[in-house]
Amino acid sequence: MTTDQPLRDDQLDRYARHIVLKEVGGAGQQALLAGTVAVIGAGGIGSPVIQYLAAAGIGRLRVIDDDVVALSNLQRQTLFTTRDVGATKVAMAANAVQRLNPDVRFEPVPERADVVNAPRLLEGVDVVIDGSDNFATRLTVADAALRARVPLVSAAVGQFEGMLGVFRGWEADKPCYRCLVGHDPDRPEVSCADQGVIGALTGVLGSLAALEAIRAIVPFGDDPAGTLLMIDALAFRFRTLELPKDPGCRCAD
């Protein structure tokens, strides 16, 4: 739908708790229904992202994941059930979204994002959320988002720690993802299978990432770009760090 279409009676009821927020209102809900979000990864972070964005009425969800559901996923990937083991994640996610909210158009993409397909995967999106489980994919998605000038919400977890950032590196005073991590992709991959992760923390990061995608479409409150949210579940601590633009980074060109 376009933002000039009036909300139906059932939508006024479904999204009533958004509409009564002065920061969102009817116009904001219409913008969400007209919005498109790409989600990289339908795993521990992607599960709550998909659920909350579908519930929020994001008009189109493009979910990119080439994996199948494994029994070991179910400790944290709440989108899936035991009966889904062995099925493709995007197919099961599509079923879940259809049950949750028929307003949402779900685009399953059973692929892994790479340098070849990333530009296509981000075509026509308002914001991309990266909850992927490897560093190479994160760099690829970040570079594609920067080139396409698509806001990037990046969320990551490991053991009892999490990180969330919003990146719009094409803006003069805002850092890109490489301002944070540098340009060297040659680093050892450490997966949650190797180091473990507390399941509920992926839900926290995914919910926060969904919130920032909504904020990117319907701006409210403070702009999070240029800051980094760090979560330490062992110490029961949230910290926000300033992330400056790296003058030597290629996004500054």
The residues, any chain, with a CB within 8 Å of residue 133's CB and separated by 6 or more, are 41, 43, 191, 192
Residue 167 has pLDDT above 80, yes or no: yes
Sheet of 105-109, strand order: 105-109, 60-64, 36-40, 127-130, 152-158, 161-167, 227-232, 237-242
- Our measurement of the distance from residue 2's CA atom to the centroid of its chain's CA atoms, rounded to an integer in Å, reads 23
Residue 113 has pLDDT above 60, yes or no: yes
What's the whole-number mean pLDDT along residues 7-21? Answer: 96
Q: How far apart are CA 8 and CA 72, in angstroms?
A: 41
Verify whether residue 251 is a known catalytic residue. no
The residues, any chain, with a CB within 8 Å of residue 82's CB and separated by 6 or more, are 71, 74
Kindly indicate the confidence band of residue 247, based on its pLDDT and cuts at 50, 70 and 90.
Answer: confident
Residue 242 has pLDDT above 90, yes or no: yes
Residue 190 has pLDDT above 90, yes or no: no
Kindly indicate the confidence band of residue 151, based on its pLDDT and cuts at 50, 70 and 90.
Answer: very high
Say what the pLDDT of residue 3 is: 63
Considering the entire predicted model, what is its pTM?
0.93
Q: How far apart are CA 192 and CA 166, in angstroms?
A: 23
Which runs of E-coded beta strand occur in the chain?
36-40, 60-64, 105-109, 127-130, 152-158, 161-167, 227-232, 237-242
Catalytic residue among 176, 179, 192, 251: 192
